[in-house]
Chain A
Amino acid sequence: MEYQIPTVLMVEDSAPLSAVYQAYLKHEAVTLISVASGAEALQQLPLLQPDILLLDLHLPDMSGMEILKHVQASALGISTIVMTANGSLDMAVDAMRLGAHDFIAKPVDADRLRVTLRNTIEYRRLNALVSRYQNVYPRDQFEGFVGASVSMQEVYHTIETAASSRATIFITGESGTGKEVCAEAIHRLSGRHNRALVALNCAAIPKDLMESEIFGHVKGAFTGAVSERIGAAGRAHGSTLFMDEVCEMDLELQSKLLRFLQTGCFQKVGSSITEQVDVRIICATNRDPLVEVTAGRFREDLYYRLHVIPLQLPPLRERGDDVLRIAEVFLQNFAREEGKRFLRFSDEARRALLVYHWPGNIRQLQNAIRQIVVLHDGLDVTLNMLPALLRQENRAQQPTPERAPQAEINGAVVGEGSIRPLAVVEREAILLAIDACRGNIPHASRLLEVSPSTLYRKLQGWQEQGLLPDNHK
């Protein structure tokens, strides 16, 4: 990093004092510029963009405090050192509260002035260094995310760089990977953060109500529209609209959304008045949007309109040790909430957390840790406290003993090491049957000789536990 000589703007109305301070600092590696009034200082600040402001608090035309407030409000990144007489230390304290970096009492001691200035320069240098390294070296937490894996560093970087733009962001990732956390982080870091993020889950709203949810409706637009309603697009004016599960949207509504994205204009349901809004769009899906386009379920033109900045959230199983970091954060939080003593995971429990493939991602991990904390207590989370699924998969990963006894099932030789939990085998068998029947659950249930309601109940249970693959949701 190239070193630049810091610029110091000194605001001192007394010519003899200004001359003395300039003499004190004549050998310092700074560019020192001196002005004698508050008005001159305010004029020079944007022109010079000094690194450090050496500010006398008693000025003939205005209080130094006013200049300090201006510097803070303008977020110019200037470090201010205030100079004030010994009897005015209360003012110095007020100045520090207003954001001054340091203060020097008058009469100014030459060494004190030089040391304070050098310290301030060093402080700024280190601050810049820390900021630079924060962008280069891994972070283990970022805007609601926990994780230090390489894949998450890329996510953090994309969020940071894309947040200030107005460009549409298309977040993809399996269920439970943090798509909403991601949208919130982008909004929080954007210039629109002063207004609330408007979130809409396209999968949770009935098809018939979706248009009204997005664009609003006028009174009498349809049965039950007893009053006018502002939709998500209207509420998000000047802010961000997050459309989750966007691939679930009906094709007819997709064309209306496309028009809205192209023009920024929409009409409420039942209204002929066109409204224009300034909205930044973030959308998300747990499906592969290109597969949806190929299958004709998602408009290609809408896909390209939305897919400006793609952001892929990695599944938890591909995030290495992040699972342990996240589990530890959940453990601390839930233990505090539930009044339990848990501090850490035992080595065996840690191994089981790492081995498990987490199909439900962070949401599943969150539920698992919540379950552990609610049902158990102690300092360590041990293996036997983990939910059964995690323990089973852990056991299945154990090395197969040599010359283990083997049995023959349906003509296939089965070793002890390849035996898997019944629940896992059952889930696989049912999902394979549903796939073979092209999603026709009543037909699959007939072939499996169980009732359709049994299959629906099991599918719902697996969905809640995050155990359902994406193509079965």
Chain B
Amino acid sequence: MQWIDEEILAQLGRDAGEELLPQLVAIFVEDGQKNLDALVGAVRTRDAEHLLLLAHTLKSVCATYGAMCCHAEALALENSCRQQKWTAMEQGVADLQISLPASCSALLALVPVVHPA
């Protein structure tokens, strides 16, 4: 599975500056974990409105960083939220629980994040 569209990532590097790319990827990875926790929490509390907002934001974030698989799943989740289809919503979050960590790992492999000593 290709988790990251490398052309989009390369474009992000050109637009934002190659020197900033590791920093941006670090923020994406950190935020990805927070997002995943929030998605799981929203499903548990059956907060469709919050889930919709999370899916909507995640959709844009993933498209910007080239995580296109996650982007497609976030889009599907957003639509399920709008249609109030709980089974689909639960499935959507379950899919993202796999694809989002995998995308983060793929990103880190492509753009190693240098943590300050």
Contact = CB atoms under 8 A, between A and B. Distances in A.
A14 B60 contact: yes
A110 B56 contact: no
A60 interface: yes
State the 5 A-B residue pairs at the shortest beta-carbon distance, nearest first: A110-B15, A23-B16, A107-B63, A106-B60, A16-B28
Given A16-B64, A17-B64, A23 B56 contact: no
B56 to A, nearest CB: 5
Contact of A20 (B12, B30, B53, B56): B12
B31 A108 contact: no
Interface residues of A, number: 18
Contact of A85 (B27, B28, B59): B59
Nearest to A19: B27
Contact of A16 (B15, B20, B27, B59): B27
A252 to B, nearest CB: 74
B16 A20 contact: yes
Interface in A1-57: 13-17, 19-20, 23-24, 26
Contacts of B31: 14-16
A237 interface: no
Contacts of B15: 23-24, 110-111
Q: Most chain-B Cβ atoms within 10 A of its Cβ — which of A24, A106, A107?
A: A107
B88 interface: no
Contacts of B53: 58, 60
B60 A13 contact: no
A17 B17 contact: no
B57 interface: yes
Contacts of A58: 53, 56-57
Contacts of B65: 16
A20 B59 CA distance: 15
Nearest to B82: A87
B76 interface: no
A60 B47 CA distance: 13
A23 B15 CA distance: 8
B23 interface: yes
A17 B60 contact: yes
A85 B65 CA distance: 15
Nearest to A88: B56
B19 to A, nearest CB: 10
Interface string B1-33: 000000000001001110010011001101100
B109 to A, nearest CB: 18
A85 B16 contact: no
Nearest to B78: A87
Nearest to B12: A20
B64 A108 contact: yes
Interface in A102-117: 106-108, 110-111
B102 interface: no
9 contacts: A14-B57, A16-B27, A16-B61, A17-B57, A26-B20, A58-B57, A60-B53, A107-B60, A107-B63
